[in-house]
Homo-oligomer: A and B are copies of this chain.
Amino acid sequence: MTHPIRVAIAGYGNLGRGVEAALKQNPDMRLVGVFSRRAPTSVTLLDTDVPVYAMADIEQYQDEVDVMILCGGSKTDLPEQGPYLAQFFNTVDSFDTHAKVNDHYAALAQSAQKSGHVAMLSGGWDPGLFSINRLYGEAILPEGKTYTFWGKGLSQGHSDAIRRIAGVQSAAQYTLPIEAAITRVRSGEQPELTTREKHTRECYVVLKAGVDEETVRHTIVTMPDYFADYDTKVHFIDQASFDKDHSTMPHGGFVIRSGVTGDNNKQTIEYGLTLDSNPEFTSSVLVAYARAVHRLALSGEVGAKTVFDIAPSLLSAKSPAQLREELL
């Protein structure tokens, strides 16, 4: 093996911790540093003995890092950090605001083209692995429909929305796919499904003392965009139960392509994830793509890339001949 790929983490929350853990499963890669906006001395890593640096000093380390994995949020961190860091590093991020993907792509492309780096956006599973499966599905079965179901899984954005309601102390919101809808899709029927027919939402809420349950319940289930279009169940529980049962971050879902070929033969492709830890899985995807980004950069590629642009073999530590031998 040549020297390990030197990876650094920009932003150390759940996703950053996941990257730290994932790198340990990949002996051809090595974590060389973590960058945080918090005071470096206040950041405690899981168990890797590498330095924590101030985000403000990150430019100084451009010769010591092969790939920078950006672990900030899509709303404010990545749109700013992405183009900035692509001036100095090959980067991978998990930008997941679907509606703004082409803007983020353009900003990264401009920065990375100019600096001669590779900047990969929207790694992870949706966008990411689910996107790949949507693409393969419709390319292979052009006459058909694609369905994406999410869950059962904790939705961070919806949990946050509940926590912002006055009187709420803790909240966890789970998105659940509706089994009947999945069954219809799997049958090859190609149904038109409304938002309400695809998913339900289930909320576990801890209230502050003296707060009225019915008022909070009504505020939740009528909240536009987040809950109004869904059948939503709200369970009020105490903090001890919440801490015991709702502290993990499971997620998952399905992408199903239902198509027909020839003389109306039904063909179904289904891709599913069942994840105990959403951030750890997302991080594992980012780490595999960091390997690919490093290889693309070594081969002289520059600019912005998505999962669509990256050949599968680039993700694996194995040689092409070994891949053909073992996995083809």
On chain B, the residues within 8 Å of A140 by CB distance are 129, 281, 284-285, 288, 315
Report yes or no: A328 in contact with B98, Cβ–Cβ below 8 A. Answer: yes
| Given A140-B288, A186-B274, A270-B271: A328 in contact with B265 (beta carbons within 8 A) | no
- Asked if A156 CB lies within 8 Å of chain B CBs, one says no
Closest residue of chain B to A137 (Cβ to Cβ) is B327
Q: In the assembled complex, how far is the CB of residue A283 from the closest CB belonging to chain B, in whole angstroms? A: 8
Report yes or no: A328 in contact with B306, Cβ–Cβ below 8 A. Answer: yes
A17 to B261, CA, bound (A): 11
The residues in A between 88 and 142 inclusive whose CB is less than 8 angstroms from any CB of B are 98, 101-102, 105, 122, 127, 129, 131-132, 134-136, 138-142
Stretch at the interface among A2-10, A164-172, A316-324: A316-324
Stretch at the interface among A20-28, A31-39, A207-215, A227-235: A20-28
How many A residues, CB 8 Å from partner? 66
- Asked if A311 CB lies within 8 Å of chain B CBs, one says yes
On chain B, the residues within 8 Å of A267 by CB distance are 273-277, 280-281, 284
Interface residues of A (CB under 8 A from B): 17-18, 21-22, 25-26, 98, 101-102, 105, 122, 127, 129, 131-132, 134-136, 138-143, 186, 261-263, 265-277, 280-281, 283-285, 288, 291, 306-313, 315-317, 320-321, 323-325, 327-328
